[in-house]
Amino acid sequence: MALGKSSTMPGEICTLQIGQFANYIGTHFWNAQESSFCFADNSEAKIDHDVLFREGSTPKGQFTYTPRLVSVGLKGSLGGLKAEGVLYQANSENTSEPLWDGKIDICQHDSFQKNQFQEDLDQLEHQYENSAHGSGAPKIPLGKTYRLEKVVKHWSDYLRPHLHPKSILIANTYLSDDVDTVFSSFAAGTELFKKEVGEDLCERVRYIVEECDSLQGFHMLGDSIHGFSGLYAETLKYIGEEYSNKHVLSFPCASILPNYDTSQRDLHLLNTFLTYYHALEVGSVTLCPLNMWSTWNHLDIPLSFDNVDIQTPLLFHESAIMALAMDTATLSYRVKNPRMSLFDLPHFSNSRWTAIEFSAYQTGDISFGKVIFPSFKEANITSRISLFRQGSAAIPDFLSDYHNLSRNSLLQTLSQPWKLKTPFPGIIPKNSDIYPLGSFVSSVGLQESLAVLTEFIGSGSDRIFRRHLRSSMELDEWNEILSDMRNLFCF
């Protein structure tokens, strides 16, 4: 069986997903990776999946291939998925008879109803396990369509691959709905890291790192507008200190906020501002924000998309767009040849930040979409990371001309399209094959956008400090943060 294994050392990457939206994005991303697995021995796979996945075996000796992942969430965020997963479970003993004569309190919880996609996955896996001559992995027919928009309540509701028992870490101090109340501040996240999850999270990261032959760095997705922002920043700080010679591609992410209370805008933007500050403070981090906000003033109004049928606010759809961007942004060091590394990213982009915006349009006979990290319309973003679909003979010439006219330092394409497979939502026109192209340039747009955010926070710094920071931060520290960010953006 071949899963895109390279004859050269791939340089492993450990992925961390911190927060609800980060896990929604990550689920689409891992589904996409599994969909591109090649099981034929004579396959000419272009993607080296060993960069992101790890080999292992169950207690029964069954081969496993799971994401090199640590996912962090709050109590109640997993739906019907067990934190330890099911892949490594041994046959459980019969526990129907009590082991002692004392009083037993029985606590019952409502069972989670599996959706049709999950039921089909279970059935296919059962058929595969019972097949004496099974080959490859169970596959859902490509023609089958699932309407999951109304049934997805948790990221686990559309997860395809199995996860390692050490992948999921649940913080029990807060419930998943607490992000709008008691777990809404940056300080709450830093406290949660220090008092509950930090030690366990770091141990899980060490477990992954120690089994790597040649770790090149980390992917880090983290929610930036609620309490997860502080937890994300503390985790970044730990990675920067413990693995200072490794590079981090940081994806702070945020979803569209429905029924937005503008009185909470200061808090949400403050959390985002502090997330960016602490990310840029770590010397080995490249910052790539992922969100669909139209402006800093309107966190409830999304960017408009051409030829993309996306519903907002809907995490299942929004995260799918973000996963497309993440897949393309990381493609350049996941392909077999030519192989670059995660450490090369800031050198090719000539920047420690880059931005992505998604749109799709048609030009003559060439139909293509461009994916750039979402930022804000008024920021005049110039970075380009493109996805090409519906190939034609004119595409190579177009790519060559486009590349020569742009400021890109790297051009990389794949000859085979990426097909959007189940359970990816039907937001892309049917019969559209996606051709990924990774391309990094210096992003003046994102720098300007962060400057606007810094100016907004600075203009209300006294009000923001009194309302949201007085109990968790000294005024001198707050003024130093503002000064550092202003100096960074030269105003």
pLDDT of residue 292: 78
pLDDT of residue 18: 98
Single out the residue of 83, 59, 58 nearest to residue 73, CA to CA: 83
Judged against a pLDDT cut of 50, whether residue 192 lies above it is answered with: yes
Confidence of residue 9 (pLDDT cuts 50, 70, 90): low
Cβ atoms of 418 and 36 closer than 8 Å: yes
Cβ atoms of 239 and 270 closer than 8 Å: no
Single out the residue of 11, 75, 32 nearest to residue 214, CA to CA: 11
What's the average model confidence in pLDDT over 195-204?
96
Contacts of 21 (CB under 8 A, 6+ apart): 223, 253, 254, 255, 315, 318, 319
Share of the chain above pLDDT 90, in %: 38
Judged against a pLDDT cut of 90, whether residue 71 lies above it is answered with: yes
Using alpha carbons only, give the angle 111, 115, 120 rounded to the nearest 5 degrees.
115
Sign of CA dihedral 69, 426, 3, 339: negative
Judged against a pLDDT cut of 50, whether residue 92 lies above it is answered with: no
pLDDT of residue 467: 93
pLDDT of residue 439: 33
Judged against a pLDDT cut of 70, whether residue 480 lies above it is answered with: yes
Single out the residue of 398, 273, 320 nearest to residue 32, CA to CA: 320
Confidence of residue 8 (pLDDT cuts 50, 70, 90): low
Judged against a pLDDT cut of 70, whether residue 102 lies above it is answered with: no
Count of alpha carbons within 13 angstroms of residue 409, beta-carbon side: 14
Max mean pLDDT among 207-211, 336-340, 394-398 falls in 207-211
Task: Point out the least confidently predicted range of 313-327, 345-359, 360-374.
Answer: 360-374
pLDDT of residue 202: 97
pTM score of the predicted model: 0.81
What does the pLDDT look like over 222-248, one tens digit per residue? 999 999 999 999 999 999 999 999 999
Q: Which carries the bigger pLDDT value, residue 102 or residue 296? A: 296
Judged against a pLDDT cut of 80, whether residue 338 lies above it is answered with: no
- Tokens at residue 71, please? 């996912």
Single out the residue of 209, 148, 144, 159 nearest to residue 12, CA to CA: 209
Q: Which carries the bigger pLDDT value, residue 292 or residue 175? A: 175
Cβ atoms of 478 and 461 closer than 8 Å: yes
How far apart, in Å, are the Cα atoms of 7 and each of 10, 64, 212, 339?
8, 20, 16, 12
Confidence of residue 381 (pLDDT cuts 50, 70, 90): very low
Domain 14-86+139-446, classified CATH 3.40.50.1440, yes or no: yes
Judged against a pLDDT cut of 70, whether residue 380 lies above it is answered with: no
pLDDT of residue 150: 86
What does the pLDDT look like over 293-310, one tens digit per residue? 777 877 877 777 666 778
Judged against a pLDDT cut of 70, whether residue 165 lies above it is answered with: yes
What's the average model confidence in pLDDT over 277-295?
84
189 C-beta neighbours (distance < 10 Å), count:
32
d(CA 324, CA 420): 10
d(CA 357, CA 321): 10
pLDDT of residue 115: 77
Cβ atoms of 72 and 19 closer than 8 Å: yes
